[in-house]
Structure 1
């Protein structure tokens, strides 16, 4: 066989392999698809019930946010942080990356955003539960919390809203933990989740793909060092201003507290 013919055969083999993989994922008997959908939803419900029962949760996380430039170049912004949560109304979280170094505290009454690099902080009253806090941030302050669906008291209801397609992709391993890998579609986004197998079915990885944006950028959260059941001290969730920290009236005065830097301009969708 000539070199040209060999290369042609190799390309055809790769193409056929990719086609077979696509066919395997998308095809199947109707009864098999229905069974997979039922099982996948049951796994998410089990995770949701487990999460709701935990009075205290702490974990570390790594995030990645894809950004598509007007020249159609895809960039990846990475950050890491920690989360301590006490249900129903306590949160302390940190996030650091190339553009931000932020701490968030919520004691059931007051939310505080601290920009550590500039030693500036903003506070506003949001009495209520964590669920209420997340909704207030989205609706009134235009501060959506990426991945916040995983923190709410009814994860299943939040995640499964508007789902139109479900796939059970079998097992995967995240950070050494064997997980169930599930994929879901809505009209606006695709999302995947990896749920730890065993007695502690927590979310190990969560990926959201924006199907309405050019090149389908993704946002992902990977969770590690998952711990539950610790005794909580309410004082740990009360904010104490650092030395020489300055309070600002408007959160917009805090520079680079989001995962998307302030000098990035959000463009149009498709």
Structure 2
């Protein structure tokens, strides 16, 4: 089964209900909703600076990763989890889906990945900051962290890299929260972000759609229960093997990735 390893992920090429299509054509979105690029950039920068300024933050999330079958059917794999961050070098994250139940902890020196459903864990020495951890996990181990792009201290620069087109879509509501809805295009991906109104501009939803795979599979993550500062529940970033899990090498810790083991990755087009 082919899948897209998303980079920074709603699908182009899907059928659209006739009424929705007629409304879209009637509005002429690309013409009448002109992109105020400076304002859109300001909103993303404000979000980036707000998140980077929080020494402690936490959130819950629901994510959907789309994969494409050889016969061009798009399937969605859903998972949920929670992330706790203590800058500059501590993070704890969980992810539970239909095929994996994973906990990850990083104490500034050692990354531990525990497959709860496997009762097995691995440890990798990656001393440094959360930014360094994100880079290493993505580039060296092909294991991107949940919402990794948004957790970087320089997330604005990373998000805006290669952006060729910007659209301000006005307001949207995510989980009952009114947000600014912004859409961006680069050579390889389209991405959209919804940022909460007010003095706490946290992201409410982030969607990335691939342009290198037919039918445009996407990765979407919706956030909830944002907490910052003293409101963040204390977390343990040092691994404690309370379940007497078996330690294995990273390459032997099967069944903890974004895709089930029986899914086969194919080349992008």
Q: Same fold (TM over 0.5)?
A: yes
Question: 1:66: Cα distance to partner?
Answer: 0.8
Contact 1:107 1:234 in 2 (8 A): no
Matched residue, 2:223: 223
Contact 1:86 1:232 in 2 (8 A): no
Count of residues in correspondence between the two structures = 253
Structure 2 residues not aligned, in runs of 5+: 1-16
Mapped to 2, the partners of 1:95 and 1:235 lie a distance apart of 16
Mapped to 2, the partners of 1:184 and 1:108 lie a distance apart of 33
Question: 1:14: Cα distance to partner?
Answer: 7.2
Matched residue, 1:84: 84
CA shift digits 1:14-56 (9 cap, x unpaired): 76543223x2x21159xx54xx111000000110111111010
SS of 1:48's equivalent in the other structure is helix
Classify 1:143/1:13 alpha carbon distance in 2 versus 1 (closer, same or farther; 3 Å): closer
Classify 1:184/1:115 alpha carbon distance in 2 versus 1 (closer, same or farther; 3 Å): same
Classify 1:231/1:59 alpha carbon distance in 2 versus 1 (closer, same or farther; 3 Å): closer
Does structure 1 residue 135 correspond to structure 2 residue 135? yes
Q: Give the TM-score taking structure 2 as reference length.
A: 0.89
Larger helix share, 1 or 2: 1
Matched residue, 1:184: 184
Higher gyration radius (CA): 1
Matched residue, 1:243: 243
Question: 1:147: Cα distance to partner?
Answer: 2.6
Mapped to 2, the partners of 1:111 and 1:230 lie a distance apart of 25
Matches within 5 A, 1:108-187: 108-187=108-187
Mapped to 2, the partners of 1:265 and 1:176 lie a distance apart of 38
Matched residue, 1:93: 93
Mapped to 1, the partners of 2:19 and 2:213 lie a distance apart of 32
Question: 1:13: Cα distance to partner?
Answer: 8.0
Question: 1:108: Cα distance to partner?
Answer: 0.3
Contact 2:84 2:235 in 1 (8 A): no
Aligned counterpart for 2:26 among listed residues 5, 20, 28: 20
Matched residue, 1:5: none
Matched residue, 1:269: 268
Does structure 1 residue 193 correspond to structure 2 residue 199? no
Q: Give the TM-score taking structure 1 as reference length.
A: 0.88
Higher relative contact order (CA 8 A, sep 6+): 2
Question: 1:146: Cα distance to partner?
Answer: 4.8
Mapped to 2, the partners of 1:231 and 1:14 lie a distance apart of 41
Matched residue, 2:38: 38
